[in-house]
Amino acid sequence: MSHTDSSDVALPTGSTNLKRRASPSFEGMSDGMGRKRMREGAEQDNSAVQIRDHVDAIDGSKLADELEQELQCGCCSALVHRPVIVSPCQHFFCGSCCALWIQNGGTNCPACRSVSTSVTPSRILQSMVDVLVRSAPNKARSMNERIQADEIYHPQMMLRIPSPRQASPEPNVPQTNNGFVQPCPHCLLGNNFGWRCPQPIVDPETEPERAWHADEGTPPGHGYCGNCENILALHAPSTSKCDFCQVSFCGVGIPNRCVAAPLLSQHLQGLSDLGDLIQCSEIYDCFDHNTVEVDIMLDYLTAQRLTPRHIYREIVTHIQNQPRQFAPLIELELFMDLYTVGGGVDPDPSAPRHRICRLCATEILLWGLRDWWIRERKKGILDDTEWNRPDCPEGSACSRQKDHGRSYSMTHARLLSSSCHF
């Protein structure tokens, strides 16, 4: 059979269509799917056009305003300058605002008041500020603001926000009975101290007719503790008197506080570590509010790990080596009216001083801190940049040193040594 004939061979009727028919459930699917795909494609095209239109419609000025709002300092409410982040709360502030917060006695985070573990510069926030200022120069802080802020803080400075100090326990003050003075701890017969007042105060609960009324003054042989203000026996073994303010302390009310300790053993009031010194506003008074010199000193104390108590001891030792010792401080009435209770009369202003209270010890530290820093600088421990600063020829009479309203006063303080103050 030829090839031409083979094409004419009749196939069986059942073999004319070998492809299996689709299920009736799929009939009409191809047209629907095509229309659906076309519809989805059109929607995608419309979405892309809308996105492009939205991008084209973004208002650059509005975006800059919104970004400026997000980058506002939590203290000054202006665009943050040299931002620092407080951990762990992650609030951020201008470095200068945070430094001033600490100098003025601020504790914890300025925004949420939570405990701060560290304060670090933020390069990410600084980059965002730089991008904003490049695109919108009108958002930048003024030149004078930036100069003044840089005089207060620079990124190499160490910042630490101190936590609030734990409050002293409340003294157990005996309740008075109708204005009568209660017996002191040593007045009671068989007390636990092994010593009884030779002139005990009568208990108004048991003998009201013989009780001592507060309007009659202080009972004989007694006084009031400068710290807890409880009644005390002046001659009790536990009682001590400060040789500077002449105030007595009971020694039994609050441990380590109701006592006048030996000069070199006493603690300072509220200045236990460097963090307390950083937030103590009085140290800026010692330096005529020259924050530059104070920052240099604080950096030095941090590097040398010197505590306020160490400085106090060196100041006391230096004063004791002077011919008149503490007499000049007594003449200045430096230790007057430190307590609400009255002190005794100083029998001899030139007499040796052996015991001191916490408040008087703190007064000595603040009085001698400036001169201590001068002596410390002369040791040559500071780096050459600080050590080689020339002295201001005007000395303590320098007017620019105290001109806080002008930015060049701080520049002047940076270039000249601390003798500008003294």
Domains of the chain: 65-152 (3.30.40.10), 178-220 (no CATH), 224-388 (no CATH), 390-422 (no CATH)
Q: How confident is the model at residue 406 (pLDDT cuts 50, 70, 90)?
A: very low
Of 179, 235, 184, nearest to 208 by C-alpha is: 179
CA angle centred on 240, ends 238 and 245, rounded to 5°: 160
pLDDT the model gives residue 24: 54
Model confidence pLDDT, tens digit, residues 71-129: 999 888 899 999 999 888 999 999 999 988 887 777 788 888 888 878 899 999 999 99
Mean pLDDT for 36-57 is 57
In this prediction the pTM is: 0.58
Mean pLDDT for 24-37 is 53
pLDDT the model gives residue 418: 47
Spatial contact of 376 and 418, defined as CB atoms under 8 Å apart: no
Task: Please say if the pLDDT value at position 292 is more than 70.
Answer: yes
Model confidence pLDDT, tens digit, residues 352-400: 899 999 999 999 999 999 999 999 988 877 665 555 555 566 655 565 5
pLDDT the model gives residue 33: 55
Say what percent of the chain tops pLDDT 90.
Answer: 34
Provide the CA 16 distance to its chain's centre, in angstroms.
Answer: 96
Task: Please say if the pLDDT value at position 209 is more than 60.
Answer: yes
What size, in residues, is the chain?
Answer: 422
Of 301, 304, 286, nearest to 418 by C-alpha is: 286
**Across 34-189, where does the E strand assignment appear?**
83-87, 91-94, 118-121
Q: How confident is the model at residue 420 (pLDDT cuts 50, 70, 90)?
A: very low
**Across 213-266, where does the E strand assignment appear?**
222-224, 231-233, 240-241, 248-249, 261-262
Mean pLDDT for 25-53 is 56
Any residues with CB less than 8 A from the CB of 141 and at least 6 apart, and which?
A: 78, 79, 81, 149
Q: How confident is the model at residue 422 (pLDDT cuts 50, 70, 90)?
A: very low
Token couple for 277: 């010194």
Model confidence pLDDT, tens digit, residues 212-253: 888 888 899 999 999 999 999 999 999 999 999 999 999 988
pLDDT the model gives residue 415: 47
Sign of the C-alpha dihedral, residues 219, 221, 227, 228? negative
Q: How many helices (H) and strands (E) does the chain have?
A: 14, 9
Task: Please say if the pLDDT value at position 55 is more than 90.
Answer: no
Task: Please say if the pLDDT value at position 7 is more than 50.
Answer: no
pLDDT the model gives residue 35: 57
pLDDT the model gives residue 392: 62
Compute the mean pLDDT over every residue in the chain, rounded to the nearest whole number.
79
Mean pLDDT for 318-340 is 91
Token couple for 315: 């100041």
pLDDT the model gives residue 190: 84
